[in-house]
């Protein structure tokens, strides 16, 4: 019964989305402004209806109602409650429902929150959001109904993929979805701006706040996904340039660019067309990511099962939404950006150049992600594009961006002179060169990485020192986020360039040497878990260090997973995995990953920086604008 | 500085970035791509020796041998066989008789893999492997 109520709520939400999309237009058409008043109510109602639908699905999973098909396929009674609930979004239908529910929630919040916007703009934004919702809800209802019943109901479910049974991964999809769906708000604002032909500071403030929210969640979601891959896949890596990872990275890069570009519009106007284009592209990358993940066109470690119909539907949805928005941009974009109110050599000029670098890098990631498809269609052969390609293209593009990031904030907005910049640039460059020289012993990449990290840190500290008497919350947020980037680069560089690895098949009592430290396989034994049996090894090292890597054998579905043991200190990780273990010995593989924990710390810093900047903004959002 | 000149500088800057990106991509396409072959394809490609490639197929039942931390096994697509050596922890889903993708280089002593992949979900075989097997009439649907 509750599943049917959920299905009903889903249909109700689709109808309300239609009302939300059509009401402003109808009001205009029939000259009855009263009709437009429905828009906000429809948006709020849609959000509530979708929340009910999501709650109904979670309920079905919580009580293990196997008469609902997706529960049967993805859950099992012998599973901790956390993973029963998380399984509600651990598959195509449920995750799409969550995606749509978040889209509706953003619509509802926009309706309630942006009261301060000029009335026409608010209605237009809501109408665009309603239109997007219509498309996604139609997709959900027509191809992927999560409330399908099975008759007769099976007694037991097939179980959730054990790899997904990880607390981090239970919250990773919702976080990432808040981010990828969040950029839809900026998209709606962009289309509404093209529609009305006007952009003001209020528009820019709202776009900045919404993009910031999406960016914080994207950052957290990507970091959590990387941390999961690092701990769970047992390869010692945290980023694989996998199509699904790329499809989260592309909206993140675009949102970062948008966040910086919209700053200029907010401050003095200029480059409005570019900002609107970035907002349109940002949501485009979200939709494209959805296509790549759900259509099964690309082989990926975490793609959902292939279904051509869904792929065609998403592609059509993508074409309609993005094609429509871009066509509107082509026709009306020129009305927006009349002027560029700053000199190329200025903080705004540097910002603009960085947004261009970000977008070009995004384009390269996109090209690398879809090139295997292209190559197959063109008959070049079956190709995989992996880390070597992305390292050779994206890193050289992002390095000047990072260098610019170190110096750009020290420049004056509007106009600056090279002579005035000489001293701060000298300090920042000097610190960077010193760090590079100090780390040159580890090779060119290490020198470049640590040099850039030090330069960004030095530039940010210098900026904080200079503005110590007039520091705004937003300035502080930016500084914290930029420091986060510096810390991230240091962590990435240390974890890859200074890393060490050792592997051996050891009998119990045997030992291997990793970077001058000796580790002993002390014991291998079987340990029962709640719904699996683990083979757990105990590895002892110098200084009383003890690691317990495991492999877990699950029964429902039958599958084995690796649990890496990671000993973290602020200076680095010691990472151990075992394979093919028995009571007499195992294959032991160990990594040392200096500075890698800094990467996780950096994501916290970046999210904190975003949060500080966001809360400096929120109260002003409500201020009514002419 | 006139507005026109400013705009030219900005557009020129954007185009320069784009040109650099295109140059980077083109040079990387020459070297950094990884082609995918089945054992029979790989043996017939003279240009594949020494290059980084992916090899896909089924692990020949009974072929897995251990030599310290190095695993040796044979990958087959029904037409040809390729001995593979790999030093490392084999993935959890690695099984004899199941699909596998090995990335590495072809040497005179056989294929030396740097990474061995098996798809996470046991229900699915790597798509590339399935296609190689289908092509050779070796395709079986997973139980």
In a domain, B141, yes or no: no
Q: Which two three-digit tokens encode residue A306?
A: 């292939």
**Alpha-carbon distances, residue A169 vs A90, A222, A231, A528, A555 (angstroms):** 9, 11, 11, 22, 20
Q: Percentage of chain A surpassing pLDDT 90?
A: 56
Say yes or no: A389 contacts chain B, CB-CB below 8 A. Answer: yes
CB nearest A503 (choices: B34, B88, B122)? B88
Q: At what angle do helices A119-143 and A2-29 cross, to 10 degrees?
A: 140
Express each pLDDT in A476-497 by its tens digit.
999 999 999 999 999 999 999 9
Express each pLDDT in A344-378 by its tens digit.
788 888 888 999 999 999 999 999 998 888 887 78
- A577 — phi, psi (to 5°)? -135, 150
B11 and B47 both lie in a single domain: no
Mean pLDDT lowest among A238-247, A412-421, B87-96: B87-96
B9 and B60 both lie in a single domain: no
Percentage helix, strand, coil for chain A under 3-state DSSP, each rounded to 5: 65, 10, 20
* Nearest residue of A to residue B7, measured between CA atoms: A340
Express each pLDDT in A394-410 by its tens digit.
999 999 999 999 999 99
Say yes or no: B47 contacts chain A, CB-CB below 8 A. Answer: no
B104 and B52 both lie in a single domain: yes
* Contact map slice: A 334-353 vs B, CB within 8 A: 339-340, 343-344, 349, 352-353
DSSP β-bridge partners for residue A518 = A513
B119 and B69 both lie in a single domain: yes
* Contact map slice: A 457-486 vs B, CB within 8 A: none
B42 and B101 both lie in a single domain: yes
Residues of chain B positioned with their CB less than 8 A from the CB of A551 = 92
Q: Which two three-digit tokens encode residue B59?
A: 């692990």
Chain mean pLDDT for chain A: 88
CB neighbours of residue A558 within 10 Å: 10
SS3 A346: coil
CB neighbours of residue A25 within 10 Å: 15
**Alpha-carbon distances, residue A315 vs A284, A291, A320, A363, A372 (angstroms):** 11, 7, 9, 19, 18
Which pLDDT belongs to residue B50? 74
Burial class (CB in 10 A: 0-12, 13-18, 19+), A253: buried
Average pLDDT over residues A114-137: 88
Residues of chain A positioned with their CB less than 8 A from the CB of B119 = 301
In a domain, B58, yes or no: yes
Which pLDDT belongs to residue B127? 58
- Residue environment code for A431-442, b if the CB has 16+ CB neighbours within 10 A, otherwise e: bbeebbeebeeb
Q: How confident is the model at residue A455 (pLDDT cuts 50, 70, 90)?
A: very high
A384 contacts B34? CB cut-off 8 A:
yes
Supply the CATH number for residue B57's domain: 2.40.50.140
In a domain, B5, yes or no: yes
Average pLDDT over residues A164-182: 86
User: What secondary structure letter does DSSP report for A116?
Assistant: G
B120 contacts A388? CB cut-off 8 A:
no
Task: Specify the higher pLDDT residue, A469 or A214.
Answer: A214
CB neighbours of B77 closer than 8 A, spacing ≥ 6?
A: B38, B39, B40, B56, B57, B58, B132, B133, B135, B136, B138
User: What secondary structure letter does DSSP report for A577?
Assistant: E
What is the domain range of residue B8?
1-33
Residues of chain B positioned with their CB less than 8 A from the CB of A343 = 1, 6
In a domain, B119, yes or no: yes
Residues A281, A435: Cα–Cα separation, whole Å:
37
Say yes or no: B54 contacts chain A, CB-CB below 8 A. Answer: yes
Average pLDDT over residues A439-445: 92
Residue A182 has pLDDT above 70, yes or no: yes
Residue B135 has pLDDT above 80, yes or no: no
CB A340 within 8 A of CB A270: yes
A393 contacts B28? CB cut-off 8 A:
yes
Say yes or no: B51 contacts chain A, CB-CB below 8 A. Answer: no
Task: Specify the higher pLDDT residue, A189 or A154.
Answer: A189
Which pLDDT belongs to residue B133? 62
- B65 — phi, psi (to 5°)? -130, 150
B66 and B100 both lie in a single domain: yes
In a domain, B142, yes or no: no
Residue B119 has pLDDT above 70, yes or no: no
Mutate to test the interface with A, among B2, B15, B23, B32 (most CBs of A within 10 A): B32
* Contact map slice: B 98-127 vs A, CB within 8 A: 115, 119-124, 126-127
Q: How confident is the model at residue A115 (pLDDT cuts 50, 70, 90)?
A: low
* Nearest residue of A to residue B13, measured between CA atoms: A353
Q: Which two three-digit tokens encode residue A525?
A: 């034994």
A562 contacts B92? CB cut-off 8 A:
yes
Residue B122 has pLDDT above 60, yes or no: no
Q: How confident is the model at residue A505 (pLDDT cuts 50, 70, 90)?
A: confident
Which pLDDT belongs to residue A381? 73
A344 contacts B10? CB cut-off 8 A:
yes
Q: Is the peptide bond before A152 cis (omega within 30 degrees of 0)?
A: yes
CA distance A186 to chain B (A): 23
Residues A524, A549: Cα–Cα separation, whole Å:
10
Say yes or no: A158 contacts chain B, CB-CB below 8 A. Answer: no
B91 and B105 both lie in a single domain: yes
Residues of chain A positioned with their CB less than 8 A from the CB of B66 = 505
Helix locations, A37-166, DSSP H: 38-62, 69-74, 81-86, 92-113, 119-143
Which pLDDT belongs to residue A368? 92
Helix locations, B81-123, DSSP H: none
Question: What global pTM score does this model have?
Answer: 0.90
Average pLDDT over residues A266-272: 77
B106 and B41 both lie in a single domain: yes
B69 contacts A504? CB cut-off 8 A:
yes
CB nearest A340 (choices: B10, B21, B89)? B10
Total domains in chain B come to 2
Mutate to test the interface with B, among A353, A389, A395, A557 (most CBs of B within 10 A): A389
Q: How confident is the model at residue A109 (pLDDT cuts 50, 70, 90)?
A: very high
What spatial distance separates the first Cα and last Cα of chain B, rounded to whole Å?
A: 72
Say yes or no: A579 contacts chain B, CB-CB below 8 A. Answer: yes
Say yes or no: A237 contacts chain B, CB-CB below 8 A. Answer: no
Say yes or no: A109 contacts chain B, CB-CB below 8 A. Answer: no
Average pLDDT over residues A263-269: 78
Say yes or no: B8 contacts chain A, CB-CB below 8 A. Answer: no
Residue with token string 């020796």: B49
Residues of chain B positioned with their CB less than 8 A from the CB of A561 = 92
Express each pLDDT in A69-101 by its tens digit.
999 988 888 888 888 998 898 888 999 999 999
Mean pLDDT lowest among A160-164, A175-179, A395-399: A160-164
A363 contacts B21? CB cut-off 8 A:
yes
- What are the residue ranges spanned by the domains of chain A? 1-163, 166-391, 417-498+598-611, 500-594
B104 and B123 both lie in a single domain: yes
Size of interface A-B (CB pairs under 8 A): 122
* Nearest residue of A to residue B132, measured between CA atoms: A382
B20 and B40 both lie in a single domain: no
CB nearest A339 (choices: B3, B17, B92)? B3
B59 and B110 both lie in a single domain: yes
Residues A156, A508: Cα–Cα separation, whole Å:
40
Residues of chain A positioned with their CB less than 8 A from the CB of B20 = 396-397
Residues of chain A positioned with their CB less than 8 A from the CB of B69 = 503-505, 587, 589
The secondary structure of B23-60 as a DSSP string is HHHHHHHHHSEEEEE-HHHHHH-GGGTTSEEEEEEEEP
DSSP β-bridge partners for residue A551 = A535, A562
B55 and B14 both lie in a single domain: no
CA distance A620 to chain B (A): 32
In a domain, B127, yes or no: yes
* Contact map slice: A 548-577 vs B, CB within 8 A: 551, 557-562, 577
């Amino acid at each position: 019964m509750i599943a049917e109520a959920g299905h009903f709520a889903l249909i109700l939400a689709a109808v309300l989305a239609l009302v939300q999309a059509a009401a402003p237009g109808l009001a205009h058409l029939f000259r009855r402004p009263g009709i437009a008043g429905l828009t906000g109510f429809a948006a709020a109602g849609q959000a509530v209806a979708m929340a009910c639908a999501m709650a109904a699905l979670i309920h079905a999973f919580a009580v293990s109602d196997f008469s609902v098909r997706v529960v049967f396929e993805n859950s099992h009674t012998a599973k901790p409650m956390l993973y029963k609930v998380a399984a509600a979004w651990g598959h195509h239908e449920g995750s799409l429902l969550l995606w749509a529910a978040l889209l509706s929630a953003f619509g509802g919040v926009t309706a309630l929150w942006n009261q301060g916007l000029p009335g026409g703009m608010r209605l237009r934004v809501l109408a665009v959001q309603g239109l997007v919702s219509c498309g996604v809800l139609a997709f959900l209802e027509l191809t992927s109904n999560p409330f399908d019943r099975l008759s007769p109901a099976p007694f037991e479910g097939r179980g959730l993929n054990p790899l997904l049974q990880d607390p981090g991964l239970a919250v990773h999809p919702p976080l990432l979805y808040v981010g990828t769906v969040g950029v839809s708000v900026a998209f709606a604002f962009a289309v509404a701006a093209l529609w009305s032909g006007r952009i003001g500071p209020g528009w820019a403030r709202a776009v900045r706040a919404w993009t910031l929210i999406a960016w914080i969640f994207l950052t957290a979601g990507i970091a959590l996904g990387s941390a999961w891959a690092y701990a769970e896949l047992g390869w010692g890596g945290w980023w694989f340039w996998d199509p699904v990872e790329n499809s989260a990275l592309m909206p993140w890069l675009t949102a970062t660019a948008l966040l910086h570009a919209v700053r200029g519009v907010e401050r003095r106007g200029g480059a409005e067309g570019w900002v609107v284009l970035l907002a349109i592209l940002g949501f485009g990358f979200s939709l494209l990511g959805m296509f790549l993940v759900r259509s099964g066109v690309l082989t990926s470690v975490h793609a959902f099962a292939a279904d051509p119909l869904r792929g065609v539907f998403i592609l059509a949805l993508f074409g309609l939404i993005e094609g429509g928005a871009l066509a509107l941009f082509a026709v009306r974009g020129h009305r927006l950006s009349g002027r560029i109110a700053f000199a190329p050599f200025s903080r705004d000029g540097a910002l603009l150049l960085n947004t261009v670098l970000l977008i070009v890098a995004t384009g390269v990631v996109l090209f690398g992600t879809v090139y295997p498809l292209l190559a197959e269609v063109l008959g070049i052969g079956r190709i995989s594009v992996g880390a070597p390609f992305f390292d050779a293209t994206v890193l050289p593009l992002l390095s000047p961006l990072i260098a610019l990031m170190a110096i750009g904030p020290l420049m004056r907005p509007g106009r600056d002179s090279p002579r005035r910049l000489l001293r701060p640039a000298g300090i920042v460059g000097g610190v960077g060169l010193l760090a590079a020289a100090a780390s040159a012993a580890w090779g060119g990449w290490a020198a470049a990485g640590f040099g850039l990290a030090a330069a960004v840190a030095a530039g940010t500290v210098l900026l904080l020192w200079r503005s110590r008497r007039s520091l705004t919350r937003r300035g502080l947020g930016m500084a914290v986020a930029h420091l986060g980037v510096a810390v991230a680069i240091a962590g990435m560089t240390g974890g890859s360039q200074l890393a060490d690895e050792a592997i051996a098949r050891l009998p119990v009592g045997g030992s291997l040497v990793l970077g001058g430290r000796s580790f002993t396989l002390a014991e291998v034994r079987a340990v029962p878990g709640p719904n699996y049996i683990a083979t757990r090894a105990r590895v002892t090292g110098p200084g009383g260090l003890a690691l317990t890597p495991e492999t877990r054998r699950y029964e429902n579905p039958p599958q084995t997973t690796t649990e890496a043991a990671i000993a973290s200190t602020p200076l680095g990780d010691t990472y151990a995995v075992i394979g093919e273990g028995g009571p007499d010995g195992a294959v032991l593989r160990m990594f040392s990953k200096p500075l890698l924990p800094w990467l996780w710390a950096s994501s916290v810093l970046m999210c904190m920086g975003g949060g500080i900047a966001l809360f400096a903004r929120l109260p002003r959002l409500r201020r009514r604008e002419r | 500085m006139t507005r026109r000149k400013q705009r030219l500088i900005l557009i020129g800057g954007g185009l320069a970035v784009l040109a650099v990106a295109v140059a980077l991509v083109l040079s990387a396409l020459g070297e950094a791509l990884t082609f995918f072959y089945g054992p029979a394809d790989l043996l017939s490609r003279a240009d594949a020796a020494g290059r980084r490639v992916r090899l896909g197929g089924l692990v020949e039942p009974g072929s897995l041998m251990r030599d310290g931390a190095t695993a040796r096994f044979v990958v087959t697509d029904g037409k040809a066989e390729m001995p593979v050596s790999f030093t490392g922890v084999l993935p959890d889903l690695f099984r004899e008789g199941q699909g596998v993708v090995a990335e590495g280089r072809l040497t005179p002593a056989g294929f030396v893999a740097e990474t061995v992949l098996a798809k996470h979900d046991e229900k699915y075989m790597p798509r590339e492997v399935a296609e190689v097997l289908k092509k050779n009439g070796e395709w079986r649907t997973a139980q």
